[in-house]
């Protein structure tokens, strides 16, 4: 499922229009009651109910945020316009952050070819590039990013060779492959390692 932009209406002008319409509807109700017009009263009640329902169509979109809009479980589109927005009041909007985020993976201990113990970890810098895939392809995309990054690091650790400098490019490639499922881009994956050499006389202690 790919992200599809959808049009939204500016919230403040729409809110002012609805408030004016409610005032006009209230005046119609008063007029209907005053003149004993059942038609005006019924029309005023129906219009008032519709206007009140329309008030439920407002939602906020912050900078670097997207609103994934659905109608009764069906994906409709994504809104990235900032500020107070309005859409069909029956739409459900799920917010997704598009900000760049980062985390440090857990440390793993492996042995390189010469037998020296190495402690490795990775700092993953990532962001969502397709909000629809992030929401609908997995249950929790943030947890998915953490789990797949840890899995990629473990897979890389089992194939580690003597040249620790190659960890940077390997970790980035594996991580981006794993995260491609939910269109999350690993902007920077930095792996680091610390060598803990033990001399024979130290190991014997």
Look at residues 129, 133, 139, 57 and name the one whose alpha carbon lies nearest to residue 97.
Answer: 129
Query: Can you give the pLDDT at residue 204?
Result: 40
Per-residue pLDDT band at 73 (split at 50, 70, 90): confident
Task: Give ranges for CATH 3.30.479.30 in the chain.
Answer: 101-203
Q: What is the mean pLDDT of residues 90-109?
A: 84
Which of 2-6, 12-16, 106-110, 145-149 bottoms out in mean pLDDT, i.e. has the lowest?
106-110
In this structure, which topology does domain 101-203 adopt according to CATH?
Tetrahydropterin Synthase; Chain A (3.30.479)
- CA 160 – CA 166 distance, rounded (Å): 9
Contacts of 202 (CB under 8 A, 6+ apart): none
Query: Can you give the pLDDT at residue 13?
Result: 92
Tokens of 85: 């927005």
Distances in Å between the Cα of 70 and the Cα atoms of 78, 85, 150 are: 9, 15, 32
Q: Find the DSSP H helices in the chain.
A: 11-34, 38-54, 131-136, 141-158, 167-179, 200-203
Q: What is the mean pLDDT of residues 7-14?
A: 90
Which of 13-27, 50-64, 155-169, 178-192 bottoms out in mean pLDDT, i.e. has the lowest?
178-192
């Amino acid at each position: 499922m790919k992200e599809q932009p959808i049009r939204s209406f500016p919230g403040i002008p729409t809110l002012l229009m609805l408030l004016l319409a409610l005032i006009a509807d209230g005046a119609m109700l008063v007029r209907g009651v005053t003149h004993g017009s059942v038609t005006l009263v019924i029309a005023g009640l129906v219009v008032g109910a519709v206007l009140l329902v329309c008030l439920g169509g407002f939602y906020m979109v912050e900078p670097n945020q997207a609103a994934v809009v659905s109608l009764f479980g069906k994906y409709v589109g994504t809104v990235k316009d900032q500020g107070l927005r309005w859409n069909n009041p029956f739409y459900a909007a799920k917010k997704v952050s598009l900000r760049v985020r980062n985390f440090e993976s857990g440390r793993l201990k492996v042995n390189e070819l010469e037998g020296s113990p190495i402690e490795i970890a990775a700092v993953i810098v990532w962001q969502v590039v397709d909000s629809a895939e992030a929401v609908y392809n997995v249950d929790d995309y943030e947890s998915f990013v953490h789990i797949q990054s840890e899995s990629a690091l473990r897979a890389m650790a089992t194939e580690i060779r003597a040249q620790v400098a190659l960890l940077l490019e390997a970790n980035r490639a594996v991580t981006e492959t794993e995260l491609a499922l939910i269109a999350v881009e690993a902007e920077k994956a930095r792996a680091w390692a610390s060598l803990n050499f033990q001399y024979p006389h130290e190991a014997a202690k």
